[in-house]
Chains A and B, each alone.
Chain A
Amino acid sequence: MLKIENISKTFNKGSINENTALKSVSLKMERGEFITVIGSNGAGKSTLLNAIAGNFPVDCGKIIIDNKDVTKFPQHKRANFISRVFQDPMSGTAASMKIEENLVMALKRGEKRRLRWAIKQRERTFFCEELKKLDLGLEDRLSARVSLLSGGQRQALTLLMATFKEPKLLLLDEHTAALDPKTAEKVLNLTCNVAEATHQTTIMITHNLEHALSVGNRTIMMHEGNIILDIKGEERKNVKIAQLMKMFEQASGANLNTDRMLFS
């Protein structure tokens, strides 16, 4: 499904701020796989996701999705088959526009946008059904502006927008990190439900080691721009959080220094 071959990325090349974020990373992903990505700050997790989504051109290497080389595709073209949910709940929706307007923009992802009245009754009915699944009471507020929603509601909405067109690949960049624990749990449950229901191929970055093992069916660990651990199947089932931390220390030769990982 997704094949990444030796991609590298160095920011600010040739300056004192030179920063190699990805060092010849390769990754192969099958359809229906749900990868959770862990690693300390600056490990290159977000850079990897941004490289796949096309935020910037990679220095070298290839990104192939469904046997199609998308390395040279600009971001908006890749968006036709890649969906994203960002860490910041404000990033995924247009605040000054109505809920239904946001939804209809997501519904037209991958299609040509025309000079055609955007929202008709047929779309409204569909949105109502979809929003009911979120169980947040949003189905009665289709014409409310998104700026009136809470961060959690906005993130749930973004998740819905990212998935109801069933993208080939779903990228989640710590999408629950900015939410309060209860809302975060809810959004994560939603994520799992969606992923299971449609066998959605997904990559999720998380700082929560428990989630990293309980959610999805494969876990990779990154350190200094490399993938240092890749577990799935039986091997993953038998791993405990303490072991995961030990593995990290062994593989990277460094102490896992994030309190955030320990306490979350």
Chain B
Amino acid sequence: MSSIVILGTLEQGLMYSLMVLGVYLSFRILNYADLTADSSFTLGAATAASLITSGFNPWLATLIAFFAGCLAGTFTGILHTKFKITPLLSGILTMIALYSINLRVMGKANISLLRMRTIFSDFSTFTHMEEYSVIILSIITVSIIGLIIYFFLETELGLALRATGDNEIMIRSQGVNTDIMKISGLAISNGLIAFSGSYVAQNQLFADVSMGIGIIVIGLASVIIGEVLIGTSSIGRTVLAVLCGGVIYRIIIAIVLQLGLRATDLKLITALIVIIALISPQIKNKLTPIYEKIQNKLTPLHKEKDKE
């Protein structure tokens, strides 16, 4: 792989890892399969892109993209907590509704940001780092947000959020309003996902209405990869694992593409990664007795041999 490909992969990985952190918050911390992600990613990209093309400051546009995502998450949360719609369905409903809203926001199916002022062009002129400016800015952003989320999860409120996903009965009997916890958790989650979308759009210099399709599965795959490879022994480690998972996923994809697969095969591969990760514990459980049986049959043989 050429150095440009490697650099590009890392840049993309870092930007997507913010989205992975968002998916981690809803999927693991809140134990909530939130499909809003697919559209809130696009919402972030669409919001930032259309604000930038209409002359907005790109930094401000990125911040607004974050809050747009928060709004989407809040909507899903309210559908679930106040109106008792199942998590899956409330996510899907928001996702579908946002598809139309995203088209409204952009006014057309895609927006080009060529020769526009973006956070990356700003950062590049400011620091004079030319080709490394994108990755430096990404590293800074991911580090700051990773630390914020880690600290948040260790605060009193953060503990209440984690307990909401772990044992709702328990934390409610400790005086926590779990509805508010779920809504704010989903808001932060989708805020991060939209934020990630706005970064990706500004880096690839366009926003497309379908760029978020399958984001939730990519997020899941990355969360699982990170957890398996780096571990989950503490919250700090898990946050790090999740962020690295996002980057590692991109690296795997880059390698697969270099091997000659088509870009259109990516979603299939992503789904396969998630399926393997989800079924492997079951396969392991089924194989363990067989393995033990074989071992038990082998041990007496060994003993007999020893006697001889």
Query: CB-defined interface of A83-104 with B at 8 Å, one 1/0 digit per residue?
Result: 1101000111111110001101
Pair B155/A79 contact, Cβ less than 8 Å: no
Which residue of chain A lies nearest to B164 when distances are taken between CB atoms in the complex? A94
Report yes or no: B175 in contact with A77, Cβ–Cβ below 8 A.
yes
Q: Are A117 and B170 in contact (CB under 8 A)?
A: no
Main secondary structure of the interface of B (DSSP, over half): helix
CB neighbours (8 Å) of A96 from chain B are: 162, 166
A105-B166 in contact (CB<8A)? no
| A218 in contact (CB, < 8 A) | no
The 8 A CB mask of B162-186 against A (1 = contact, 0 = none) is: 1100110111111111100000000
Q: How large is the interface on A (under 10, 10 to 19, 20 to 34, 35 or more residues)?
A: 20 to 34
Per-position binary interface string of chain B over residues 142-170, scored 1 when its CB falls under 8 Å from any chain A CB and 0 otherwise: 00000000011011111110110011011
A106 interface residue (CB < 8 Å to B): yes
How would you classify the secondary structure of chain A's contact residues: helix, strand, loop or mixed?
A: loop
Size bracket, chain B contacts: 20 to 34
Please tell me if the beta carbons of B156 and A108 are within 8 angstroms of each other in the complex: yes
* Set of chain B residues within 8 Å of A91, measured between Cβ atoms: 167, 169-170
- Minimum CB–CB distance for B163 against chain A, Å: 4
Query: Can you list, as one digit per residue, whether each of A102-126 has a CB less than 8 Å from chain B (1) or not (0)?
Result: 1011101110011111110000000
Shortest distance from the beta carbon of A102 to any chain B beta carbon, whole Å: 8
- In contact, B172 and A95 (Cβ under 8 angstroms): no
Contact across chains for B174 and A105 when beta carbons are under 8 A apart: yes
B158 contacts A118, CB within 8 Å?
Answer: yes
Chain A residues contacting B160 (CB-CB under 8 Å) are: 105, 113
18 interchain pairs, CB-CB under 8 A: A76-B172, A76-B177, A93-B170, A94-B166, A94-B167, A96-B166, A97-B159, A101-B162, A104-B159, A105-B160, A108-B174, A109-B175, A110-B175, A113-B160, A114-B155, A115-B155, A115-B156, A116-B155
Residues of A in contact with B (beta carbons under 8 Å apart): 53, 74-77, 79-80, 83-84, 86, 90-97, 101-102, 104-106, 108-110, 113-119, 161
